Structure 1
C-alpha cells in the first residue's frame, strides 16, 4: 500500500524509539521525542511498540491514502481530519481508499504520532545503527535523513483491515492531558550539591516560560536565573533525557531526545520518566513549574504509566506477553559459532517473547529459533 505526501506540514519525520547503545561514539539516542505516545500509537494498530511511525510537529502533513488503511494518531491534539471530518485521537481509525488526512494545527501539545497498521515497510526506509529514526543533523535514517517533502511516498505493509473492530475494542487507554501551564515532577541531581539551599528552593518556586529557541535538543526556559555557588560547569559527563542543566546565565535547559551525548553544565535535577510525555509536548510560551518527588514515587509513577498500556498489549490466559526485539539494548543475538548477528537482523525482529503477570512474580521466556 502506498501513501502519498501532498503537503509535508511544518516538520514531519520517520521515528522509532531511537538508537540505543551508541552514545559512547557520540551518536544521540534521538528517535521520537514523545516515546510513550509513539509506542501507544503502534499498539493501537497492532504493531510492535518500536515500529517506525510519523512524528509531526505543529502543523501536520496532508496524506493521500491509495488503499484502505487503519491508523492511530496520538500525542498532542493537532486537530486531524479525514476529508474535512474531525477525527478522535488515541483510537484506531479506519481510512478509506482515496481519503485525505490533514491537520489544522495545535489545540493542545506540540507533536503528534501517526502509526499505520502493518507498519512502514522497512525496505523502503534507511536502517542506520539499528534504528529507522531520522536524525536530521546527521543526515541519516528514515527517508535519507530528512523530513518528509511533497511528492514523497510511504510504502505501508499490507494489513487485515477486518481486524479494525478487534483493535477498536482494545483501545482502552486514557490519553494524557497537555496544558499550557505544566507541572513537571523532578528528582534532584546529579549535581545539586553545587547549588545553595536558597537556589534549590528558588528552582521549585519559580514559574518559567518555554523559550522560542527550544527544540528536540533542549527546552530552554525563561524566568528568574538560578545562581551557582561557585562555577557553572564540571568535567563533561553523560547526559539523560530530562536532565536540567543550569548554564552560566542561570536559565534552565531541559535536555531532550537529540541532546548531545555529553555535557559539562551543572545539572540541578532530572524530570521523572513518567513526565517525559508532558515535557515533549511543551510549546513556546507555555508555563512550567517544577515539583520535587522521591525516587520511590518516580518509580511508582513510571510503573503506573507502563501499566496503562497493558490493555493494548497481547495477553495469554490473563498474562501479558512482551516481545523482545533485536533493537532492545540488553539483547545480543549470536549464531551457533558465537558470531554476533545484530547487524544482520532488522531491529523489529522478535528474538524472544516474555510472558509475565502484572506483579512480575512469574516469568516465562520463549526463545525464537
Structure 2
C-alpha cells in the first residue's frame, strides 16, 4: 500500500495530491481482520478457571472464547464468529501473567508484547513516548483495622501520621489521587471534604495517651505491589509513637493494607460494594448527594478504615495496536474494536 500511494502521488497534480493523501490516510487507518494481540499482566490469576467477573479477562467473554487456560501463567482467547456485536477484528488475544516490569518493558521494546500493565508509580519511568491507556481512578488503597484494635485513639493516630503527599509524590510518582474518602472525587463530587493531611503533633498526642502494648500493631500487605507503601507507613507510624510491623498476608494482623476496586459508576452501589469489601457495615440509604455524603462520613467515623489513595489502571500500548482505546473509564477491556498492523484487509 505504501508503494501504491507513492506511485500515485508522484504523477498526481496538486488537486490529486489531496485526494491521494486522504486515500492513503484512510487505507492506513482502515480496520483489518486477523492477527494476535499480545497482552502482559503483573498479576497471576491462580483460579482453576478463567475469571468470569470483574474487569480484565472476564470482559473478553461475549466477543472471544477461551481456548487455553494455564492458571497463573497464560490464557488464549479466540474470536467468536457468532458474537452478538459482530466478529472482532482480532483472531486471538494471548495473555501472559506474572510478568515483571523488566520483562514487560523488554517485550514491548522487542515487539513481543502489544499491551503491558503498568505498576504503581512506573508511568514516568516506562512511558518513554509510548501511548498510554488509563482509566479514571478506580482502585481504592486503604488500611482496614481488625477487631482487636479497640482504642480509637490508636486508629486515629495512625491516620494522622501517614504522609500521603510524600508517598504520592515519591512512590506513586503522582499517579492517581490522594484521598481520605472511600469514593473518588470523580464519582461523588465531595471527596475533597474528607481530610487527608498528616498532623504529626496531634498523632503523637493521641498515641501518647495509650499504653505501650496497644501502640504495637501488625500490618498485613495483601498485594506485594503495595509493600513499598507499607514500609513508608511503618516509618510514619514510628514518628507518631506507634510501632508497626509488616507481616505476611493471611496472618491475623491488626491492620491490613488492601486494594478494592470500584465496580460501578453509580455512587450508591459503589459505596455499598466498597464498604462490604473493606469490612464496614452496609451504608445508610442515600437518595441525594447530601445523604450519600452523610452515609460515607458515618462509615469512616471511628477510623476503622483509613482511605489513602485512588489509583487508575494504566497500560502501555505498542504502535501496531490500532482502534479506539481498548479500556473504558472504569478499566474494562474492550478489545473487540481493536486491530493490529499486519492483519487481513
**Greater per-residue strand proportion:** 1
Q: TM-score range by the shorter chain?
A: under 0.3
**What's the TM-score once normalised by structure 1's chain length?**
0.25
**Greater per-residue helix proportion:** 2
